Amino acid sequence: MRALSWTTLAVGLMLAAGPSQAQTYDPNFPICLQTYGRDGGYIACRYTSMGQCKLTASARAAQCIVNPYFAGAADRPYRKKRRSYD
């Protein structure tokens, strides 16, 4: 009888838990649109330029932000070019 009650409790807790959300930032795009609203906001990373994002954000409760997880942004150290003296 105890096993049945524990199983019922475990199933009830799993059904009561809210849905999990996917990753917020898409690492394939450098610019994200963050919106605000009564039902909550969301972040959509699907823009390749700040201008493209600003056109979408105009006249909305939204702002454009730089994606901190953009995979294309490689941190390469600055290399000085050597001069050759011939």
Closest by alpha carbon to 36, among 60, 52, 20, 19? Answer: 60
Asked whether residue 83 carries a pLDDT value surpassing 70, the answer given is no
Q: What is the pTM of this model?
A: 0.57
Asked whether residue 72 carries a pLDDT value surpassing 90, the answer given is no
Domain boundaries, the chain: 21-71
Residue 36 CB partners (closer than 8 Å, separation 6+) = 61, 62
Task: Identify the bridge partners of residue 34 per DSSP, sorted by sequence position.
Answer: 43, 63
Closest by alpha carbon to 46, among 36, 60, 57, 37? Answer: 57
**pLDDT at residue number 23:** 64
